[in-house]
Amino acid sequence: MYRKHQSRSTTLLIQDDSSSLKTWRRISYAELSQATDGFEESNLLGLGSFRYVYRGRLSDGMEVAIKVFNLQIEGAFRSFDIECEALRNIIHRNLVKIVTCCSNVDFKALVLDFMSNGSLEKWFHSENCSLDILQRMNIMIDVATALEHLHTGHPTPVIHCDLKPYNILLDEDMVAHVGDFGIAKLLGEGDVMRQTMTLATIGYMAPEFGSAGIVSIKCDVYSYGIVLIETFTKKRPTDEFFTDEMTMRDWVKRSLCRGLIDIADADILRREDEYFVVKANCIASIMDLALGCSTNSPEERKDTKDVVVELKKIKQSFPNSIQHV
C-alpha cells in the first residue's frame, strides 16, 4: 500500500489543452489525500509496477482516478515524466484525459478522468461481466482510432508500447479510452528506435520489441492484433493452452478453416444461434484482420488507419436487426 506522508514542495501544473477557455486546475497533496480519504485501501482501484491508482472525489465534486507513483521503485520518476509529456501533448476522445498532476520532491501523482466502467480486462475475465458483439466491435474501433491518432495525429508519433486490456478503460457510455502511458515512446527522426530495457507485457509485446528492443508504431499494431483476438475469444495470449508450438495466432489460423465455433467466446457465438452464420462470418473477418495486425514481420502488419477503415466496414455489414442479439 502507498505510504502516507506529508509533502512539502510546490505543485507542478499541467495545462488542459483541450480548450483554451479552461483555466489550469490547482491541486495539492493535501487535496488528493482528502479526495481519497487518506489514500484509503477501499479506494484502491489497481496497482502496477510503478503506481497505485485510487478513486477520489475532489473538493468541487469531480470524480477522478488518482495515479500515485511509487518513488521507491527504480524507473518511477521517468515513468511519471513520460506520462506527463505524452498526456500533455495529445488530446483525443479515445485517450484517457489528464486533469492535472502534482509533482513534489517526495510525491508524484497524475489526476485523470474517472472511467466508471473499469478496464476491458474486467469485462473479459470477471464474473457477471458480458459484452455483446456490437459493443466489442465499437470498443476495438475506439482503440484503433486512438492508436491512429497517436501514430499520425501530430508531428511526433507516440508509441504506447504496452497496449493490453488492462490499459483500455471504459466510461459510463462504454466508450473506450486508452490509458497508462508510463513506458510510451515519442518517436524522433526515423521510423524506429532502440531501447535496452523492455518493460512491456509478455504476450502482447511485439517479437522485435522483446528480442531486440526495436520500437516502432508497428509494435502497437501487433499488440492491437493480440487484443483484438482476445476481445472475441476471451483467451489471454499467456494462457497455458498456448505454447511455442501452438501460439494464439496459430490457434486462430487453424480455427478459421473450421468455422470458429471452437475459439469464439460462447457469449457471442453458439451453434444453436439463429444468426450463427452471420455472426461467424463477422468474427472470421475480424480474426483475419487481427492476424494481419500481428504478423511476426513488422513490415507486413497493417497500418492503423487501414485497421479503422476495415473494422468500420465489418460493422456496417453486420445487420442492424441482430446487432444486440
User: Is residue 162 flagged as an active site residue?
Assistant: yes
Q: And the C-alpha cell for 230?
A: 482476445
- Assess contact for 27 and 112: CB atoms under 8 A: no
Query: Where would I find the H helices in 76-165?
Result: 76-89, 120-125, 133-152
- 3-state helix, strand, coil split of the chain in percent (to 5) is 40, 15, 50
- What is the residue whose three cell numbers read 510503478? 50
Task: Identify any residues that bridge with 64 across adjacent strands, giving them in sequence order.
Answer: 56, 113
Type of residue at 101:
C
Contacts 24+ apart (CB under 8 A), 283-288: 283/133, 283/232, 284/256, 284/260, 285/314, 286/137, 286/140, 286/228, 286/232, 286/311, 286/314, 287/229, 287/232, 287/252, 287/255, 287/256, 287/260, 288/256
CA distance 173 to 165: 17
CA distance 90 to 92: 7
Q: And the C-alpha cell for 206?
A: 511485439
Task: Identify any residues that bridge with 110 across adjacent strands, giving them in sequence order.
Answer: 67, 101
Type of residue at 315:
K
- Assess contact for 232 and 264: CB atoms under 8 A: yes
The single residue of 113, 162, 180, 220 carrying the catalytic annotation is 162
Residues marked active site are found at: 162
